[in-house]
Chains A and B, each alone.
Chain A
Amino acid sequence: MVDPRVIHSITIEMCTGFLLLSGIAIISKLVADTWLRRLRGHVARFDRWAENVSKFAEPASYFALTAGVLATFVSMVTGSLAWPVEDLIGSPIVHNKILTTAASQALFIGAVVLRTRYKAAIWSTRITSLGYSLTVLTGVALMTLQNSIAGHLAGKGSLLDDLLHTLNIDSHVIWVFPQAASLILLVAFPLAALAIFLGIRSASRQTEAPAEA
């Protein structure tokens, strides 16, 4: 019988690798598109490179993102099997890891939904491509933090320790908002989203009405 921790390590490598590839592909696509929009014609060789990168990075990022999200679900299952329930309930580090994993996974799922719904057209305007890219890259940043926490969980430390120490972030202490702040955020964000949605819809109707008239 293979140790569940070994299986968990493999699934972590898979999801981290895929999601990191997705982040790198997104950055490559952003750089290539910026070159093509602003600097095309300056260096012919770079133009060709940018066109090729832009063409291949987009599907690569989408594939890696989808595979990474699926692998993360598998990793969650193997992780819950690899650690005793007492550890999961009692360790602040495990709680911090679950919190950051849930947030990053929600961002990645959101990015998959965005890309699946709007397809490659999401890259056709600067603002939508930027929104999509920021969603994925924020997820990658949270995933990096979560892997740093996992390093402590495995007793190996992390390359980010110095940075976290400088920022006064201690992964051995449970990360929680004050309860009142959690309640405010829990109500305020969905309400703000609803208000923005209604604002967007009302603005759309106003712009569509004169066009129809």
Chain B
Amino acid sequence: MTRARCVLAFFAVAALLAGLPSPAAGQGVPPIGIEHTPPAGVTPGYQIYLTAILTNATSAVVVWRNDTMTADAVMPMTNLSEADGAGWVFAAYLPPQPTPTQIVYAINASNPGGSHFEGYFFSVDVPSSGGLTSSDQEAWIWTMAASLAMVVSTVGVLYWYTGRRLRRGAK
């Protein structure tokens, strides 16, 4: 319950701040844009890779915390020098989470005229077998069988043809 309140409060503050005009807005500096989708299917024990397309930003950080942390941690984002549309791709790794948890984070992008941040969250969890339906599993087995049949048949033809071609060449 406390966690839910914290998340709600975080987003309420984030929404409030996001709605406020940036200090840069009135000074002719183009506004900062953040385009980001939280990662899905994150499992415990692995680094978490976050990317965002930032427009008119010179630097950015990820401010994050998990269920058990009492204070936010800050991770700088790296500009990958890779243009995407009008922006640039920035990326950061968050450390592996040892157990299932929820990560609440904000991307804080800034330029000389000011800063702008947007909040997100995602879950770190062990994937369950519920992720795939039984028809998915069945279709996958058929696909595997078809793929192997294609490969084995092709290699088989190549084997016979190679033998014939080499015998003919030897005569």
Contact = CB atoms under 8 A, between A and B. Distances in A.
A41 B159 CA distance: 34
Given A86-B127, A177-B143, A179-B138, A106 B148 contact: yes
B107 to A, nearest CB: 17
Would you call the interface of chain A mostly helix, strand, loop, or mixed?
Answer: helix
Contacts of A92: 131-132, 136
Contacts of B166: 118, 121-122, 124-125, 128
B68 interface: no
Interface in A34-55: none
B126 A86 contact: yes
B155 A106 contact: yes
A107 interface: yes
Contacts of A190: 149, 152-153
Interface string A85-122: 01101111101001100110011001101100110011
Contacts, number: 157
Interface of A: 5, 84, 86-87, 89-93, 95, 98-99, 102-103, 106-107, 110-111, 113-114, 117-118, 121-122, 124-125, 127-128, 131-132, 135, 154-157, 162, 172, 174-179, 181-183, 185-186, 189-190, 192-193, 196-197, 200, 204, 207
Nearest 9 A/B pairs, CB to CB: A110-B155, A155-B46, A182-B142, A193-B153, A189-B153, A185-B146, A176-B139, A90-B129, A182-B146
Given A118-B163, A174-B140, 9 more contacts: A95-B132, A107-B151, A110-B155, A111-B155, A124-B169, A127-B165, A182-B139, A185-B146, A207-B168
